[in-house]
Amino acid sequence: MLDKTETSQPESAPSDKDTKIDCRHIDVFYGEKQAIFDISMPIRDRSVTAFIGPSGCGKSTFLRCMNRMNDTIDGARVEGEIIMDGADINDPTVDPVLLRSRVGMVFQKPNPFPKSIFDNIAYGARIHGLASSKSDLENIVETSLVRAGLWDEVKDRLASPGTGLSGGQQQRLCIARAIAVNPEVILMDEPCSALDPIATARIEELIDELREQYCLVIVTHSMQQAARVSQNTAFFHLGKLIEMGETEMMFTNPSNQRTQDYITGRFG
């Protein structure tokens, strides 16, 4: 275990000043069962980090540590430090509500609220008091939708329900909703697995654009997607981090045999 983590810290690891989130020795338990075993990794700001690995390897669980969504699961327990901007987010003094406004999340299945498109976007701004006036709010909604590449498609029907959009549009709506709160980090848990290839391509484009302003972490089952959108890739297996490095390195010349096997499709 130890030597593996050491080999997984190649010279290509992001330097400290770029690190947005530094995870140190994370263990996650669901009741008695341990799901994550001593994972440490730095996550770079203004870039996309992809988590890959077979189903049940703990990548989604690890992702949810970063905005403390594991708190909402009964019996889940997280140990270790996750340093974001110099402070441990697992510290009891940290308010998960505020943390989640800094670390947005997009889920596997598009989950627009049963409200209008406008209210879906405005929701976060409203609960966090980000807008002081109606025009402020409209501004936030418009900017978020523009950034999510959805504005042109929905600007004439902002009052219609968000659930009436197509799957791909719904997912972009959810991304816009996350952006509207002005987060620093956006976590994406298999954001394209419920979408068709065209919608997927649009989301991938969007992820690439968002990289300029945000720190993005994406869990994906698609190796091609990881290769296309990410700058760094982490390979998980059975709750352990097997290898992490620059995406190009990982896909052309992985240092671990299991990574090689998984990437080339020999297992998993």
Q: In 70-157, at which residue ranges do the beta strands (DSSP E only) sit? A: 76-84, 87-88, 103-106
Q: Which stretch binds another protein (CB under 8 A): 2-10, 15-23, 95-103, 236-244?
A: 95-103
Does residue 221 belong to the site contacting another protein (CB under 8 A)?
no
Does residue 69 belong to the site contacting another protein (CB under 8 A)?
yes
Does residue 174 belong to the site contacting another protein (CB under 8 A)?
yes
N-to-C CA span, the chain: 20
Minimum gap (Å) between residue 3 Cβ and another protein: 36
| Cβ-contact 212, 181 below 8 angstroms | no
| Cβ-contact 76, 32 below 8 angstroms | no
Q: Which of helix, strand or coil describes residue 54? A: coil
Q: Which of helix, strand or coil describes residue 187? A: strand
Does residue 113 belong to the site contacting another protein (CB under 8 A)?
yes
| Cβ-contact 183, 101 below 8 angstroms | yes
Minimum gap (Å) between residue 160 Cβ and another protein: 14
**Binding to another protein, residues 11-50 (CB under 8 A):** none
Closer to another protein by Cβ: residue 113 or 151: 113
Does residue 220 belong to the site contacting another protein (CB under 8 A)?
no
Q: Which stretch binds another protein (CB under 8 A): 35-43, 111-119, 147-155, 250-258?
A: 111-119
- Give start and end residues of each alpha helix (H) in 128-210: 134-147, 151-154, 167-180, 197-210
- Which residues sit at the interface with another protein, rule CB under 8 A? 67, 69, 72, 74, 97-101, 104-105, 107-109, 111-115, 123-124, 127-128, 163, 174, 177-178, 181, 187
